[in-house]
A and B are shown apart, each in its own frame.
Chain A
């Protein structure tokens, strides 16, 4: 029943507006006619008096004219009252109009109420769903915002931890690189020293060999040049004596 009333309320409001509109229109029309008639009469009377030849001051005329206006205003006030004259024809016409309108309203209620109500209900449902969806989205967004805020705080913490770890790792890497470099430098130094030592030994060996070869060659030459027959015999004797002594 309530739903039905809800459906009918816009239609009834529309019908009431349509009912009131002709009556107000009719009342306006009637009051206008009532105001116009005394004014016309006052104007014609003034004209008639001027034709009679009595010259009066302009102030008097103005006063009369003001009286006439006041009277017209009084008549006007009277015209607006519920005691206006409505003819039978107008009532009949009004009746048919109302009947016509009521029929129209009934037809509209009969045939268009349900689709309109469905449409409105659907519209209301859709709007409600949209509102609910938007509310849910808002809540989701709020929740996401809160999560992001929390995550942002966590991210800052994580970033700090990562930076700390990176710093520690960099320190370790720096120490390792320095250690490796020092070890490499030590190795290079040792290798260089060994190479120098080897070169030195080789040079000494070459020099010694050269000296030995030259000494042997020079000794051979000297011995060959200075060795006499007696020396040869003496060498053989000494050698044989040495061999016998060994025996």
Chain B
């Protein structure tokens, strides 16, 4: 179960520290790396949060991880605190919330575009420009290809979804035919 509210509190505290010392971007990169590690090796989260293991052992394990990532002292203390509070398993959620805070600080949002064919740079630039107009923020776009949409694009930015796919238009056409008396 995702601990979104709890993770947001920890992320907000860490972001304030990082903002004071001007290293929240570095923290963000470190947390994203840790998130990838958690997803790649799920046993790490289990080991760090399992109360059957002694606390000092788990702290030493987290120190080893932070040492391998060459994090500064505040972030190291933050991660050790998570182990002590038995919250080491919500590091991925904290990373997501921290990225959102960083994007908000930088006036940037994350977007994803699905298309039937690979979009060239010109098209991506136009899509980014359009989404930036809609959201009022710079958009970092990721792309994927799905031929089932037949044509057009499906763009998602936060809660905003722009569906201009042929598949959706055909579905609308079919519904309009069915629904007409």
Contact = CB atoms under 8 A, between A and B. Distances in A.
Contacts of B166: 220, 223, 227, 235
Interface residues of B, number: 26
Given A240-B126, A243-B134, A223 B151 contact: yes
Contacts of B153: 236, 239
Contact of A236 (B119, B133, B150, B174): B119
A163 to B, nearest CB: 62
Interface in B147-170: 150-153, 162, 164, 166-167, 170
B81 interface: no
Contacts, number: 72
Contacts of B16: none
A216 B150 contact: no
A232 B152 CA distance: 6
A240 B151 contact: no
B82 to A, nearest CB: 42
Contacts of B171: 216
Interface residues of A, number: 26
A223 B177 contact: no
Contact of A239 (B150, B164, B167, B175): B164
B152 A239 contact: yes
Given A212-B177, A236-B164, A220 B170 contact: yes
B95 interface: no
Given A231-B151, A232-B117, A208 B123 contact: no
Contacts of A236: 115, 119, 123, 126-127, 152-153, 164
B116 A212 contact: no
B130 interface: yes
A240 B126 CA distance: 8
A233 interface: yes
Given A209-B178, A232-B117, A243-B162, A216 B173 contact: yes
Interface of B: 115-117, 119, 123, 126-127, 130, 133-134, 150-153, 162, 164, 166-167, 170-171, 173-175, 177-178, 180
